[in-house]
A and B are shown apart, each in its own frame.
Chain A
Amino acid sequence: MNLYAIRAIYRFEMARAWRTLTQSIISPVISTSLYFVVFGAAIGSRIPEVEGVSYGSFIVPGLMMLSLLTQSLSNASFGIYFPRFTGTIYEVLSAPVSYLEIAVSYVGAAATKSLILGVIILATAALFVPIRIEHPLWMVMFLVLTAVTFSLLGFIIGIWADGFEKLQLVPLLVVTPLAFLGGTFYSIKMLPPLWQTVTLFNPVVYLVSGFRWSFYGISDVSPAISLGMTLLFLLTCIAIVAWIFRTGYRLKP
């Protein structure tokens, strides 16, 4: 195990986050604050409570998830794509590090950044609306699992992409719609029955539902199923990363 290498890559990636502080931390915090102002204060005051929780508070877990998903994706995909683009990846590939170590360092750094972001958003939200967390351990569990899973997905996208356009494509065309339609701003129980069923094919529903349960004890699907689906998604990503490294896909000609 090359711990020095893991530490070197991890630190390097974290240093990148500090250099791009505006992009990685401040802008998501501002956009989330805007959601609170619009949905929480302006519109939220006209929406009745959802299962005993005020609408402003109800959307907090969903908003955290939304930022967590998009930021994990963009952090991790950019983190591995940029060295491929500039060519500096040669050094990592020629170093005595295993693929597992490479993945752990890049994904670990990306996940760390989104976790920090999640906590900052939670703190920001607490300024606007009352928040209670009924199951803090599970909340942390869902937070970490989601950050890691989507950082892995971002890592995969960063390796698959062969241009900046593709780098944006999946987040924009797949993940953002799934996140918005995944019950971030509503309970799927508000939907007509047909759409409730369709929605169950959206993986984000399980993440948001489980996460919301850890806050308020209310959920669209049972927390156990949420956890199971999250783990399934995580394992799928790990399998794809393992395949990428076994075949050298897009990394080694």
Chain B
Amino acid sequence: MSTMIAISGLTKTYEGGFQALKTVDLDIREGEIFALLGPNGAGKTTLISIVCGLVNASSGRVAVGGHDIVRDYRRARALIGLVPQELTTEAFESVWNAVSFSRGLFGKPADPARIERILRDLSLWDKRDNRIMTLSGGMKRRLLIAKALSHEPRVLFLDEPTAGVDVELRRDMWQLVRGLQADGVTVILTTHYIEEAEEMADRIGVISRGEIILVEDKATLMHKLGRKQLSVHLQEPLAAVPATLGTWALERSDDGQTLTYTYDAERHERGIGDLLNALSAAGIAYKDVNTTQSSLEDIFVSLVREKA
């Protein structure tokens, strides 16, 4: 898969000395859904703003579709649609005019049929002649998406798309994103909701304090997450795991008090019941068992804390 967005050595220090980004290197592949995960103030919006041309980078380079965002900004930006975090809209304009305006702004000739389709897809068609100020918050969010899609972008940035959004709109939005992906559009979404990243993304990047601290395929990440551990606390310490239990790949703690079995909760190849029976059969008595599962949340929190 080819690279859609290439970010290398990107830094940003705001006037006043706040370092929002410390050397970010990141490649986003064409056609993928990439979730940028991070706590508030981690640098998600700064990163997006630089790629979209809203903020000047302090150093480093970004190319979108092979076009440098500074030297070849016209071609780079024509590929990008941006749905900002804040509901910033032209209060007095009609929905139709606002979306048509966006298309023109990005250098595309008028195409009423396409605008109609976008508005219908986003359930805005009935509101097309309404002034934007009369729309609900959810409708305004839809409008911002319609504006971002009006010029047929190849890359769509969704900055905190589901902040303050109801279940229905959230579902519609994911459906839309999947539809865009089917058309080959690259989607980058930022979020601090982990479930959102889990649900949507092909790859997940974690950003904290201006640094990308992890980029991984969701499948790989989920595999790690899907694993559970069973800890068996023994009555008597064991010097070694008995040979009869060799097929279970048990880990013995240093003090010999605990045996740990790591298994894939999704697959249920061999249940924990079997293991406990095998332990009894081997004459090993235990006083307690407990299972743990590392969640993306845990990984995330530990990653973020580690770097803090």
Binding site for B on A (CB under 8 A): 2, 4-5, 7-9, 11-12, 15-16, 19, 83, 86-88, 90-98, 248, 252-253
Contacts and interface: CB of A to CB of B under 8 A. Distances in A.
B253 to A, nearest CB: 53
Contact of A252 (B55, B88, B90, B147): B55
A12 B92 CA distance: 11
A96 B101 CA distance: 13
Contacts of A8: 100-101, 103-105
Interface string B174-211: 00000000000000000000000000000000000000
Contacts of A95: 77, 105-107
B53 A93 contact: yes
Given A2-B107, A4-B108, A253-B55, A96 B73 contact: yes
B123 interface: no
A2 B88 contact: no
Contacts of B73: 96
Given A88-B88, A90-B54, A253-B14, A5 B104 contact: yes
30 contacts: A4-B105, A5-B104, A5-B105, A8-B100, A8-B103, A8-B105, A11-B104, A12-B90, A15-B97, A19-B92, A86-B89, A87-B84, A87-B88, A90-B82, A91-B102, A91-B147, A94-B52, A94-B54, A94-B80, A95-B77, A95-B106, A95-B107, A96-B73, A96-B75, A96-B76, A96-B107, A97-B105, A252-B54, A252-B56, A253-B56
Contacts of A90: 54, 82, 84, 88
Given A2-B107, A252-B56, A253-B55, 20 more contacts: A5-B104, A8-B103, A11-B101, A12-B90, A12-B93, A12-B97, A86-B91, A87-B86, A87-B88, A88-B90, A91-B82, A91-B147, A94-B53, A94-B54, A95-B105, A96-B75, A96-B77, A96-B107, A252-B54, A253-B14
B18 to A, nearest CB: 10
B109 interface: yes
A95 B56 CA distance: 15
B109 A4 contact: yes
B60 to A, nearest CB: 16
B78 interface: yes
Interface in B97-129: 97, 100-109
A101 to B, nearest CB: 10
B171 interface: no
A91 B147 CA distance: 9
A12 B54 CA distance: 21
Contacts of B56: 248, 252-253
B92 A96 contact: no
Nearest to A87: B88
A213 B106 CA distance: 44
B15 interface: yes
A248 B103 CA distance: 24
A8 to B, nearest CB: 3
Contacts of B55: 252-253
A99 B308 CA distance: 40
Given A86-B88, A86-B90, A87-B86, A94 B108 contact: no
List the 7 closest A-B pairs by CB distance, nearest first: A8-B104, A87-B88, A96-B74, A96-B77, A94-B52, A95-B105, A2-B107
A55 B102 CA distance: 50
B89 A88 contact: yes
A7 B105 CA distance: 8
A2 B101 contact: no
Contacts of B15: 253
A94 B88 CA distance: 14
Name, among B56, B77, B105, the residue most crowded by chain A CB atoms within 10 Å (CB to CB).
B105
Contacts of B93: 12, 15
Given A93-B53, A252-B55, A5 B88 contact: no
Contacts of B78: 96
A253 B102 CA distance: 23
Contacts of A11: 101, 104
Given A91-B147, A253-B14, A253-B15, A12 B101 contact: yes
A243 to B, nearest CB: 15
B142 to A, nearest CB: 16
Contacts of B92: 16, 19
Contacts of A19: 92
B53 to A, nearest CB: 5
A95 B84 CA distance: 14
A91 B97 contact: no
Nearest to B78: A96
A83 B90 CA distance: 8
A4 B54 contact: no
Contacts of A96: 73-78, 106-107
Interface in B44-75: 52-56, 73-75
A75 to B, nearest CB: 16
